[in-house]
Amino acid sequence: MSFLLSCPNCGPRDVNEFHYQGEVTRRPGADPTLRELTEYVYFRDNVAGIQREWWYHRAGCGSWFLAERDTRTNEVLQTELPPRSDAGAAAPSEVAVPDTPAV
């Protein structure tokens, strides 16, 4: 299946130019329980509907960005660069940029 995904830097491109990293997760607090850690590492919501997720433009600018995608239709509603930790506007501790995948 193919669809267009709009990189915040490069514009609309074929989805095969990108790497899907999964849904956005929330890191547990500073002193998490074993259950909180287990849920963070192993469990995902896997919604049938609009999901916020990480994408990497591997065949383009090499940027990580966030997308809101309807998992039922692959319609991409919005893409944006992640909030910068020094911007202070968002909650960067809740948005961890994943490691760059090996290509």
d(CA 18, CA 15): 6
Nearest to 27 by CA among 97, 84, 80: 97
- From 6-14, 34-42, 44-52, 74-82, give the range in contact with Zn ion by CB under 5 A: 6-14
Is the CB of 57 or the CB of 69 nearer to Zn ion? Answer: 57
The mark string for 29-58 relative to Zn ion (x by CB under 5 A, - otherwise) is ----------------------------x-
Helix (H) or strand (E) holding 52: strand 50-56
- From 1-9, 21-29, 69-77, 83-91, give the range in contact with Zn ion by CB under 5 A: 1-9
- 82, amino acid identity: P
Most distant CA atoms of the chain, gap in Å = 42
Report if residue 16 touches Zn ion, rule: CB under 5 A: no
Query: Site residues (CB under 5 A) for Zn ion?
Result: 7, 9-10, 57, 60-61
